[in-house]
Amino acid sequence: MNITVIGCGRWGSLIAWYLDRIGHRVTLYGRAGSSHMERFLESRSNDLLTLPPSVALSTDLEEAIGSDVILIAVGAQSLRTLAQQLAGQGIHNKKVVLCMKGLEKETGLRLTQIVESFLPDDNQTAVWLGPGHVQEFYAGIPNCMVIDSRDRDVKKELVEAFSSDLIRFYYGQDLIGNEIGAASKNVIGIAAGMLDGMGYVTLKGPLISRGTREISRLIAAAGGSELSAYGLCHLGDYEATVFSPYSHNRQYGEAFVRGVPYDSLAEGRDTSAALMILSSHLGVELPICRTVYSVLFEGLDPRLGMEMLLRRPLKNEF
């Protein structure tokens, strides 16, 4: 395949490296002046990986989108602006694959909903989701991920083209559930980091159990399958988010509780705000996500938030 990856951060650059590794023709696009792209143009490296000469580098969006397949790996809150730019380029008959996890903070929209509101109907959208960290993939440690799309032919083509000994892809069966599940697991990751910061590590068990149940109800109310919360895009991604030292969301939650500055992107922060919109719109109670939001945006003391969760009315487990 002739592929362009838009977004030259840690995940976009890993995707470019991976797709080149399995034999595709890959161009990595980054904005002119981007510090990430400047490093690649200068040395073809960042702090995590080195791109081989076979990966083309571009700062020309019009040139970059000439590929048949466009993969997008940018911050979720930047997607609307990028989608507007792509629409202005007159994109047609492309496979657009979203390789990021989030919901729009101001609207609660899923990322495919944003892209599809701007691009013509002759483009097909898909998502690439699931567990894994750049450091582990680059070191040759395999994992399993998911590709989902409403278009079965596109989904089949992408899974077959992208699968390898390093990443085993599964065919997603629930676009709504997988998008919401992937986005919300970052909020659970922040909660896990807060537990680490408070020294309540043993509560990660209840967090995993109750967090998954909470999100399963939300997915069902949004029109997806409850089972998706127990798949690779949510529960299957918990190890990489709730426990891993590489998880930005877990690190952010821990740093927040300890009052330590944290400068890296933690998508779960804005996703918690988006989930409050969905909670209100769909009439689904999200006690864990609500607590994370209240701590981050409303000044709730994290320890008091934990006490409030533990004092909730007693109920059946399921």
Active site residues: 185
DSSP code of 226? G
* H/E run at residue 168: strand 167-171
Residues forming beta bridges with residue 126, ordered by sequence position? 97
Q: Provide the residue type at 181 as one letter.
A: G
Strands 124-129 and 95-98: parallel
Q: Tell me the C-alpha to C-alpha distance, in Å, between residue 72 and each of 82, 215, 220, 312.
A: 9, 25, 27, 41
How far is it, in rounded angstroms, from Cα 52 to Cα 59?
Answer: 18
Strands 56-58 and 25-29: parallel
Work out the angle at residue 266's Cα, subtended by the Cα atoms of residues 43 and 289, and round it to the nearest 5 degrees.
165
Sequence-distant (≥ 6) Cβ neighbours of residue 113 within 8 angstroms: none
State whether residue 169 is helix, strand or coil: strand
